[in-house]
A = this chain, B = another copy of it.
């Protein structure tokens, strides 16, 4: 045998002991682990003592930390002490019941415990054999969720990290079908491939833009169909846009409909859009990242009419199913197309079994044991418990909407199908310019957020600066929502005094 080893080849069984090797000992882990449980339990008890929005300035955290790693090991207690002293003031508390910005989310305790054990087990479910449990639990837990939200059995599921990645796979699948040979030949330098088009409403999420760009279609390939007064895609305009594009030699690739847009949680008319997609032979992807879980509520069923006719659907348990970030559930009728686009097995990953390998269902080879938290959450809360919590959040938002509607000094700016209310202050008895209202409402938001009890975010709707209140945290109760309303009214009073 002639190949030299590098840097040296000991020829006996003797190996020098390294000065310090191995993991933290189980005894040390026990001590630090129990302390960590106490830390988290106290955090759960006292989260409302923190200002929900961090009060540090950019650079504060960075400047408080050494610029280089230590050479010598440090005790874990010391690391935790610095965590408390330096990092905790830089947290924005997504687990605070006053977090009502963007979308309110929850790291439920069973989900946190599931993530803990998943990290310790360090399953990497690229192949069935590298984690039969993670591979098959993913199938089972996604099957449970699929049934709960009423998707037909024809939809196969896979877990990705984010909706950005889920929707990207939908676009890739649509591209695979619409552009023959695209996997092998690609897009450039092909006279046989015309310009391509993806359609979504003017309210669709920015992840669709990024997906279109990454897939090489170009941002111009995304055509945003105007939404109606309630921020819903207008099917007639979609149909006209497709006809217009076809006439111009542009090939339609996919339509992305949204159930629960990010600004207003508006609901595109999926059934009418599905009619068009079926007639035109265009892939229909439904982005239900936030609202999808409410398909398990009979009273929300109307919002999801036609969902089962989509080619692919994404919903994010990390948004409104109490799942610690990250877990995005992607369902697809044509997972064979995803596999056709991406499956590729190098020799070192070939296995003797004939099992389904999750690495074939996407661009990411490695994957965490994410299904564990979804499974534990669905069992711990039960489907009825999940429904009750979703209903509670929706009821809180409806109540808030009622207060807005009843006030002469505020106006609501969009329907409230789920748990987000879009509104603004517009005090009665005065003439307002749009610019004046925008400035007033921005000052109200800034004042409320500075108080530390509540964190609100904004959007802009048809040029109007709009406040948003988003209910989704498991610990948010009527008290918090009423307090938010009180703080907003106080801020209005202060700003108009």
In the complex, are the beta carbons of B188 and A217 less than 8 A apart?
yes
Inter-chain CA distance A384–B71, complex, in Å, is: 5
In the complex, are the beta carbons of A21 and B389 less than 8 A apart?
yes
A196 in contact with B188 given A132-B60, A326-B366 (CB within 8 Å): yes
Inter-chain CA distance A18–B398, complex, in Å, is: 14
In the complex, are the beta carbons of B61 and A402 less than 8 A apart?
no
Annotate A328-347 by CB proximity to B: 1 below 8 A, 0 otherwise: 00000000000001101111
In the complex, are the beta carbons of A120 and B43 less than 8 A apart?
yes
In the complex, are the beta carbons of A24 and B108 less than 8 A apart?
yes
Q: Judge if A256 is at the interface, Cβ distance under 8 Å.
A: no
In the complex, are the beta carbons of B215 and A185 less than 8 A apart?
no
Q: Judge if A94 is at the interface, Cβ distance under 8 Å.
A: yes
Q: Judge if A92 is at the interface, Cβ distance under 8 Å.
A: yes
> Could you show 30 A-B contacts with beta carbons less than 8 Å apart?
A3-B412, A7-B300, A8-B398, A9-B416, A11-B406, A12-B402, A18-B389, A20-B385, A20-B388, A20-B389, A21-B474, A27-B41, A29-B109, A29-B112, A32-B110, A54-B131, A58-B353, A69-B145, A69-B382, A71-B384, A91-B133, A94-B123, A107-B120, A164-B366, A184-B219, A186-B219, A191-B191, A206-B365, A326-B368, A348-B459
Q: Give every chain B residue within 8 A of A124 (Cβ-Cβ).
A: 94, 105, 325
Q: Give every chain B residue within 8 A of A468 (Cβ-Cβ).
A: 348
In the complex, are the beta carbons of A364 and B120 less than 8 A apart?
no
Instruction: A9-B416, A11-B405, A32-B110 given; name 17 further pairs at CB < 8 Å.
Output: A13-B478, A21-B388, A34-B37, A61-B137, A70-B379, A71-B382, A72-B385, A74-B382, A83-B117, A87-B137, A88-B133, A185-B218, A186-B216, A211-B363, A262-B346, A318-B366, A348-B459
Q: Judge if A432 is at the interface, Cβ distance under 8 Å.
A: no
CB distance from A91 to the nearest CB of B (A): 5
Q: Give every chain B residue within 8 A of A346 (Cβ-Cβ).
A: 205-206, 262
B41, B58, B318: the one within 8 Å of A128 (CB): B58
A392 in contact with B348 given A119-B107, A325-B124 (CB within 8 Å): no
Q: Give every chain B residue within 8 A of A271 (Cβ-Cβ).
A: none
Q: Give every chain B residue within 8 A of A40 (Cβ-Cβ).
A: 29, 33, 116-117, 120
Q: Judge if A73 is at the interface, Cβ distance under 8 Å.
A: yes
Q: Give every chain B residue within 8 A of A218 (Cβ-Cβ).
A: 181-188
A1 in contact with B412 given A13-B482, A36-B116, A110-B24 (CB within 8 Å): yes
Interface of chain A residues 402 through 460 with chain B (CB within 8 A): 402-406, 410-417, 446, 457-460
B62, B110, B384: the one within 8 Å of A136 (CB): B62
Q: Judge if A30 is at the interface, Cβ distance under 8 Å.
A: yes
Inter-chain CA distance A19–B170, complex, in Å, is: 38
In the complex, are the beta carbons of A415 and B30 less than 8 A apart?
no
Q: Which residue of B lies closest to A346 (CB)?
A: B206
Inter-chain CA distance A5–B144, complex, in Å, is: 31
